[in-house]
Structure 1
Amino acid sequence: MAGNKLLRMDNIGIVVESLDNAISFFTELGMRLEGRAMIEGEWSGRVTGVHGQRVEIAMMITPDGHSRLELSTFLTPPVESDHRNAPVNSLGYLRAMFTVEDIDEMVARLLKHGAQLVGEVVQYENSYKLCYIRGSEGILIGLAQEI
């Protein structure tokens, strides 16, 4: 299609077991809850291919208003698979990267919130300090601090 172009990325979706725990974790990170909603009905199953679905979602937004995470918990049907504890080099593995002001302070806050540091905080050249964290329910996120 000539002239058809990508306009923007609206959000990344993550399926979670506990919406409340995930909202709490991403709020601690600095995101804001934009809203919660129930997604159900014949139309929704036609989109996802999961017929008879009943899903509660929460939309989280970054402080700059540009990026969103859609957190979803499937009430029906039951979850079919779980790859939260797969190693980071697994095919299809999801990780979201966030830039923070002070990585050491953020890691300390998130650890108090039940998160786990995957490896260690490292410095990449003279550009960034980086780390991976497993947050609420084992969700993998990356943190970066510009130097």
Structure 2
Amino acid sequence: MPIKLENVAIAVRDLEATIAFFTDLGLSVMGRDTVSGEWTDTAVGLDGNHAKIAMLQTPDGNGRLELFEYIHPDAIETEPTLPNEIGMHRVAFSVDDLDAALEIAARHGCTPLRGVGTYEDIYRLTYLRGPSGIIVMLAEELQKG
């Protein structure tokens, strides 16, 4: 059976701020909507499901993020995920210029959890805490060619 990753969905506290963060990093908004009704209750498994959503895409067209902000029921705040917790971990992006990407992230109040590391002279990379506590990994390939 063929299988294809469609997208990664992330519930966010502030849809507009999260869209601004990811579009400043280079993703584009494919579409936006507000969804509710019996079909969403059934598909999501949540009665009274009502959310604002946005689908974002990477410039190469291969990666998509679905962001959603709940209108109803109320969103439940949780402690931000730590890198070693079981469950959804992080979303990762390759960037051409890590320093430029970090400057963009900083304009959104997002800085590395600790710093920038180098993996075997192949990647410079870092984890940062993005909007709504999302862990975002940014990696720059050092051996471009």
Normalised-by-shorter TM-score class: over 0.9
Distance 2:89 2:53 in 1: 18
Gap regions ≥5 residues in structure 1 = none
Q: 1:27 aligns with which of 8, 23, 26?
A: 23
User: Which amino acid letter does the alignment assign opposite residue 91 of structure 2?
Assistant: A
Q: 1:51 corresponds to which residue? A: 47
Structure 1 runs of 4+ with >4 Å offset: none
Superposition pairs for residues 44-83 of structure 1, below 5 Å?
Answer: 44-83=40-79
Distance 1:69 1:126 in 2: 29
Q: Report the TM-score, using the length of structure 2 for normalisation.
A: 0.93
1:118 partnered with 2:113: yes
RMSD of the alignment, in Å? 1.2
Counterpart contact for 2:81–2:133, Cα < 8 Å: no
Q: Report the TM-score, using the length of structure 1 for normalisation.
A: 0.91
Gap regions ≥5 residues in structure 2 = none
Q: How many equivalent residue pairs?
A: 142
The percent identity for this pair of structures is 36
1:101 partnered with 2:93: no
Summarize deviations over 1:11-57 as a string: whole Å, max 9, x none: 00000011100000001111011110111111111111111110110
